[in-house]
A and B are shown apart, each in its own frame.
Chain A
């Protein structure tokens, strides 16, 4: 198990290098530069700017300079937000995205699996149909429709919750977390229902029932673990996506998270910011996939690695 884990971790390095290289050159291939605007820069000013940010060096020089920086975990200064380094921006934005993402994830998995199991147990009844109908709605209605609706109803008209902004308090988290979790909840519910039905029809459940175990024990002891496997493998990338921040949610609710840096950075050709976020996001996905692998192995004995027979 330990060897496997170490091997996996080492395998991460070439992946990361590849990611950095591709992102670095893709960014530079994009037309325009960080200092282009509708205002013209006098040549002497442009020269000063390029010198300050090392854009006057050759691309290869810039690339190796960047690799050198990354090696010591220094993402450099942001071109767009000049008073901050990319490290500081990530350090400020990530805790917010993490909080919202984890809460939304917990909500989505808690509610989603519960709904999914309920629907599976009442398969082909009114309960099942209405739950799955709702889930379908949740998947198909995009965030940018739900969010303004919720703001209008709960914040502007009722005045129960803030219409946006972030003070770290519970009230300011409710709407973004709920909005962010809705589509995932719906997806998890459908996923759980499908796999639960499959598991409930398998032989070992029939055996368990034949032994005369009460239904609740059959579900809890025998059916739940295998039924959750597909949900767990969905959880890795989904969590990464949610804790790295959602642009839509952040813009609509004015939350200072990581998500908008990626889009803003790319639009502004803020090379260092985009690179920093890409690398950070890459590492995050790799770590989360790794954790999912471990959970998977724990849940499913068939794929445990260290079992010596």
Chain B
């Protein structure tokens, strides 16, 4: 059996005459056995894959990390739910594989000059999975349901830029006062509270999806069950067994159904990453949500083509509690601690998966925005260490009287390694005596919020939309997650200006200035920016890496394996 299976890869070597000789047999066996190499991708003139290269079975098995909390788009908040909802529903806007915004249920839109009125023209050929047309009324109903206090959505903050949304959410105004109107059957108008340049991006979030009114009315809270759920996206819900799988089938009523190639999608909630990667190796999954954190070298060696790592819209950092000693009045100390971290070392040795060292709050990869890097970011680590030591001395600490602090983090292998490494770097460079405190997530969050026990703590932020404001607002006075106790009236004023500014260049400058102010006050130590890391079957194409990590199954397709295709000559796959 084994011998037979190895024929595939062995022939590859003969034909390719590349450096196969150096590869160990395990690698050949592991990578090529259950994941045979695909044929070359041939595109038609319209840029679609040539039917000749497509596999017969267009079934996709995706690992989704966790059981989705809900398939009700207006209650959903977690990543697992949103992956499935993007397949089931379609908002006014959507995303291309590379993350670029494209028309979704709206075919085009106008934005008024003051940036406060959006008019959307819906597709007339859009249909619900039961054949009903998708109308502006469906969207009005969806927005109102999402904002209704009775729905109790915990992600309705996405709607807050819409006029009257906050008042509707708190029950002060009736639902029909929400700034969303159906002008005509296929024309929708949304009025805004502030001009919100990232609003079109927010419209890909499930909180803004339409829902099928009559089925929600009829089934109430059970409308998301298989057989009851009526959706307007490329797929419909076939089956849902909690903890086991969710099965989606292609929605033949979808307006673009002829271009949807994957016919059936399975989502699995593999909470255990090593079991997901074993299922991938056994050929049962084509897509994993993560990879085991401690297996980078092994994966890179055995699955170099399947391992996909790409930047993500998120920052990992440590926060200071500015309401507790020693950080109340100590800019030198905070700066010293920030400088003393060798981020290159931390990302290379601790996180390992190609995370990028960061010196600012906002991650790179946001179009048209460049975070103001502090001057010391361009120094060598030796220079930083020297400066850190003198700042540490200025702050009044020495080897005889070192700083004693607690570093608090929530349970997690990566957090633990990171906290350990940070503590030892601070000790090595400055002589800081740091104690590590590990807490269960909810306990940790509560302690952070109360700001009584915390000194230095792990923090992070992954944004739902590619806009620096999402990161900057975390440090506003009184923000629910401002666990730093940071309060700077100047900074707050700048945030207000940013939210009411409608000229992009001016808004961008304001944001850069705000971030500079923030990084000078240094209520946080940036460490690195997140990456997504997963295993993807080489036969699966039609997707692309993007910083939001949004991947629509409708764009994907499976290629034939080249052993079964005699009409194409195998050549080496071009690098991703």
- Partner-B contacts on A (CB < 8 A): 30-33, 35-49, 51-53, 77, 80-84, 89, 92-93, 148, 151-152, 155-156, 159, 162-166, 250-257, 260, 267, 269
Query: In the complex, which residues of chain A have a beta carbon less than 8 angstroms from the beta carbon of B461?
Result: 38
Asked if B278 and A42 make an inter-chain contact with CB atoms under 8 angstroms apart, the answer reads no
Query: In the complex, which residues of chain B have a beta carbon less than 8 angstroms from the beta carbon of A43?
Result: 480
Asked if A251 and B222 make an inter-chain contact with CB atoms under 8 angstroms apart, the answer reads no
Query: Closest Cβ of chain A: how far from B366's Cβ, in Å?
Result: 19
Judge if B241 is at the interface, Cβ distance under 8 Å.
yes
Query: In the complex, which residues of chain B have a beta carbon less than 8 angstroms from the beta carbon of A254?
Result: 244, 268-270, 272, 275, 279
Instruction: Identify which of A32, A42, A77, A81 contacts B242 (C-beta below 8 A).
Output: A81
Interface core residue of A47, A84, A165 (most chain B CB under 10 Å): A165
Asked if A47 and B243 make an inter-chain contact with CB atoms under 8 angstroms apart, the answer reads no
Instruction: Kindly supply a per-residue 1/0 record for chain B positions 267-309, scoring 1 wherever the CB is within 8 Å of any chain A CB and 0 otherwise.
Output: 0111110110011011010000000000000000000000000
Tell me, in angstroms, the Cα distance from A46 to B170 when the chains sit together.
10
Using CB atoms, name the residue of chain B closest to A251. B272
Binds A, one of B151-159, B357-365, B515-523: B151-159
Using CB atoms, name the residue of chain B closest to A254. B270
Judge if B388 is at the interface, Cβ distance under 8 Å.
no
**Given A35-B154, A38-B461, A39-B481, do A156 and B272 touch, yes or no (CB 8 Å)?**
no
Using CB atoms, name the residue of chain A closest to B30. A156
Asked if B242 and A45 make an inter-chain contact with CB atoms under 8 angstroms apart, the answer reads no
Query: In the complex, which residues of chain B have a beta carbon less than 8 angstroms from the beta carbon of A155?
Result: 278, 282
Judge if B218 is at the interface, Cβ distance under 8 Å.
no
**Given A42-B160, A165-B244, do A159 and B152 touch, yes or no (CB 8 Å)?**
no
Tell me, in angstroms, the Cα distance from A37 to B152 when the chains sit together.
16
Instruction: Identify which of B153, B160, B222, B275 contacts A164 (C-beta below 8 A).
Output: B275
Asked if B157 and A30 make an inter-chain contact with CB atoms under 8 angstroms apart, the answer reads no
Asked if B278 and A148 make an inter-chain contact with CB atoms under 8 angstroms apart, the answer reads yes
Q: Can you sample 19 A-B contacts with CB below 8 Å?
A: A30-B443, A31-B447, A36-B445, A36-B446, A38-B481, A40-B479, A42-B480, A44-B169, A44-B170, A45-B152, A45-B153, A49-B152, A51-B152, A52-B150, A148-B278, A163-B275, A254-B268, A254-B272, A256-B241
Asked if B443 and A41 make an inter-chain contact with CB atoms under 8 angstroms apart, the answer reads no
Asked if B170 and A47 make an inter-chain contact with CB atoms under 8 angstroms apart, the answer reads yes
Within 8 A of A (CB), among B474-497: 479-481
Tell me, in angstroms, the Cα distance from A81 to B66 when the chains sit together.
11
Query: In the complex, which residues of chain B have a beta carbon less than 8 angstroms from the beta carbon of A260?
Result: 243, 271
Tell me, in angstroms, the Cα distance from A277 to B270 when the chains sit together.
21
Query: In the complex, which residues of chain A have a beta carbon less than 8 angstroms from the beta carbon of B445?
Result: 32, 36-38
Query: In the complex, which residues of chain B have a beta carbon less than 8 angstroms from the beta carbon of A36?
Result: 442, 445-446
Asked if A45 and B169 make an inter-chain contact with CB atoms under 8 angstroms apart, the answer reads yes
Within 8 A of A (CB), among B48-78: 67, 69-72, 75, 77
For the complex of A and B, 6 pairs with smallest distance between CB atoms: A40-B480, A32-B442, A256-B243, A44-B170, A40-B481, A256-B244
Query: In the complex, which residues of chain A have a beta carbon less than 8 angstroms from the beta carbon of B197?
Result: none
Query: In the complex, which residues of chain B have a beta carbon less than 8 angstroms from the beta carbon of A84?
Result: 242
Asked if B275 and A269 make an inter-chain contact with CB atoms under 8 angstroms apart, the answer reads no
Query: In the complex, which residues of chain A have a beta carbon less than 8 angstroms from the beta carbon of B446?
Result: 31-32, 36
Within 8 A of A (CB), among B446-492: 446-447, 459-461, 479-481
**Given A256-B244, A269-B442, do A44 and B481 touch, yes or no (CB 8 Å)?**
no
Asked if B169 and A83 make an inter-chain contact with CB atoms under 8 angstroms apart, the answer reads no
Judge if B441 is at the interface, Cβ distance under 8 Å.
yes
Instruction: Identify which of B34, B72, B154, B440 contacts A41 (C-beta below 8 A).
Output: B154
Tell me, in angstroms, the Cα distance from A152 to B221 when the chains sit together.
42
Query: Closest Cβ of chain B: how far from A305's Cβ, in Å?
Result: 42
Judge if B166 is at the interface, Cβ distance under 8 Å.
yes
